[in-house]
């Protein structure tokens, strides 16, 4: 657990230091991503050798404490976050002066990494809300690095992201009102013992998360925002930021939905997933701009994630869960390289 | 109708007004205020739910406080963005 904790704290401190020493920010954040990559590998190794671990932040008793859980899944996602961040930081370090990337990129990207890592580690509904907000604010600020042309897209992204967070928060408040737990494992126990009708809460949470993850039909903000951002930022947004809410959707639906509700939800996910594949692919084919095309491809690819989630809820096959997260990993790597390649091309031809 | 239901009804009305303002727009300032209304609705739900027991549930109060901090920072960020939009006509 200590390695995982350090993998969150290192980028957080790097973000603060990078704000203070703006001249050294690039090197500092680059080193911090490499260091947190090592820490994430160590955390994964710890899980493989010593098994999963949990931690109650602040040493409070269960119910008050925010629980952090390090298991195979969260360690893998932590490693993915650190790996993508170190790849993007290496690219930006070699390119940022030529590409006209603002120095503000460095502290913001480190903050993004800290927020995302703590999202993947926590299993607490309210802590998820806080990390979601951190993630959203850092992401909007990163989109704004493009300057004037990104203002409108960033504004829309911010408003929708805040509305989505509030939707999620209302769902969390109702869920807490029903059961009195914020801790996901305890909540799952309470729901299986004494289920009450918590459909409204779950649908509110789902609507908020689907808007955050840009899942069809709530993806309208994504192509503009991702295409307007500088190339390294688009890579981070498409590869990582949309995966946070997707992970939460998986955790919440697989643990907190009763058997009947899970079947209803699975049909929704299967339907919207297929529609995302068709609509996203069609829009990607029709657009003349390279970055918008890659952004629409993210919309389409997330459809696969939704399809897998729907199938998990219907068939309860552990192999499907593995498939979902292997897909998340593969998509993160592919999308990072695509966006960085588009950015490199654009820089080479002076577009 | 009990007091709890009454407050929940008010919260639902606030949420509805906020949603309407957010969707209808089109002024950015109106949308930001609408978001704050929605936030107020959520906080009202939380405070109402916490008042159902005696003594009141402290966890929900802590959540409201944290939520307020988040709402203030998000609003400040959004307003800064609006100021920049106005100063740099595209």
Q: In chain B, which residues have their Cβ closer than 8 Å to the Cβ of A63?
A: 59
Cβ-Cβ pairs closer than 8 A, A with B, add up to 76
Report the C-alpha gap between A289 and A37 in whole angstroms. Answer: 33
A192-208 average pLDDT score: 87
- pLDDT(A351) > 60: no
- Which whole-number Å values give the CA distances from A122 to A128, A129, A300, in the listed order? 7, 11, 28
Q: Does the interface predicted TM-score (ipTM) exceed 0.90?
A: yes
Choosing among A174, A177, A181, which should be mutated to test the B contact, i.e. which has the most B CBs within 10 A?
A177
pLDDT of B11-33, one tens digit each? 999 999 999 999 887 888 999 99
Can you give the pLDDT at residue A62? 78
Report the C-alpha gap between A148 and A22 in whole angstroms. Answer: 23
The answer to whether residue A1 neighbours chain B at the CB level (below 8 Å) is no
Average pLDDT along chain A? 88
The answer to whether residue B28 neighbours chain A at the CB level (below 8 Å) is yes
pLDDT band at A41 (very low <50, low <70, confident <90, very high): very high
Cβ–Cβ < 8 Å for A265, A334: no
Report the C-alpha gap between A237 and A154 in whole angstroms. Answer: 13
Among residues B50, B87, B26, B77, the alpha carbon closest in space to that of A165 is found at: B77
The answer to whether residue B33 neighbours chain A at the CB level (below 8 Å) is no
- Which whole-number Å values give the CA distances from A291 to A141, A216, A288, in the listed order? 19, 19, 9
Can you give the pLDDT at residue A168? 94
Please, is A90 exposed, middle or buried when counting C-beta atoms within 10 Å of its C-beta (0-12, 13-18, 19+)? Answer: middle
The secondary structure element, H or E, covering residue B16 is: helix B3-24
Task: Calculate the dihedral angle through the C-alpha atoms of B38, B44, B45, B49, rounding to the nearest 10 degrees.
Answer: 170
Q: In chain A, which residues have their Cβ closer than 8 Å to the Cβ of B28?
A: 155, 159
For the ranges A259-263, A341-345, B79-83, the maximum mean pLDDT occurs at: B79-83
């Amino acid at each position: 657990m200590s390695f995982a904790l350090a993998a969150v704290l290192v980028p957080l401190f790097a973000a603060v230091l990078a704000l203070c020493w703006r001249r050294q920010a690039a090197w500092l954040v680059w080193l911090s991503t490499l260091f947190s990559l090592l820490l994430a590998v160590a955390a994964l190794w710890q899980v493989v050798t010593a098994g999963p671990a949990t931690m109650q932040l602040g040493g409070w008793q269960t119910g008050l404490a925010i629980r952090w859980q390090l298991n195979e899944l969260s360690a893998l996602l932590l490693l993915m976050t650190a790996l993508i961040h170190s790849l993007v930081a290496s690219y930006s370090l070699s390119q940022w002066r030529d590409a006209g990337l603002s120095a503000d990129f460095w502290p913001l990207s480190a903050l993004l990494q800290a927020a995302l890592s703590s999202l993947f580690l926590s299993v607490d509904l309210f802590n998820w809300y806080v990390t979601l907000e951190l993630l959203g604010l850092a992401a909007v600020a990163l989109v704004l690095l493009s300057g004037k042309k990104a203002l409108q897209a960033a504004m829309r992204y911010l408003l929708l992201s805040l509305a989505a967070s509030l939707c999620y928060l209302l769902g969390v408040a109702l869920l807490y009102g029903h059961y009195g737990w914020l801790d996901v494992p305890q909540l799952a126990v309470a729901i299986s013992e004494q289920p009450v009708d918590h459909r409204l809460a779950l649908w509110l949470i789902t609507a908020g998360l689907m808007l955050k993850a840009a899942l069809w039909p709530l993806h309208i903000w994504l192509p503009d925002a991702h295409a307007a951002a500088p190339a390294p930022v688009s890579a981070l947004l498409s590869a990582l930021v949309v995966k946070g809410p997707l992970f939460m959707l998986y955790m919440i639906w697989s643990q907190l939905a009763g058997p009947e509700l899970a079947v209803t939800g699975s049909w929704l996910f299967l339907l919207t997933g297929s529609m995302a594949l068709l609509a996203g692919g069609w829009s990607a084919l029709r657009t003349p701009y390279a970055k918008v095309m890659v952004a629409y491809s993210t919309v389409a690819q997330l459809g696969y994630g939704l399809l897998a989630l729907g199938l998990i809820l219907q068939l309860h096959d552990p192999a499907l869960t593995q498939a979902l997260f292997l897909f998340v990993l593969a998509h993160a790597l592919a999308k990072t390289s695509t966006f960085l390649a588009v950015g490199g091309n654009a820089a080479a031809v002076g577009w | 109708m009990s007091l709890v239901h009454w407050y929940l009804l008010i919260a639902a009305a606030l949420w509805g007004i906020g949603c309407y303002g957010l969707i209808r727009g089109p002024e950015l300032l109106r949308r930001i205020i609408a978001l704050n209304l929605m936030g107020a609705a959520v906080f009202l739900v939380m405070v109402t739910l916490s008042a159902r027991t005696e003594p009141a549930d402290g966890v929900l109060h802590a959540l409201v406080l944290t939520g307020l901090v988040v709402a203030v920072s998000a609003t400040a960020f959004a307003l800064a963005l609006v100021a920049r939009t106005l100063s740099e006509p595209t």
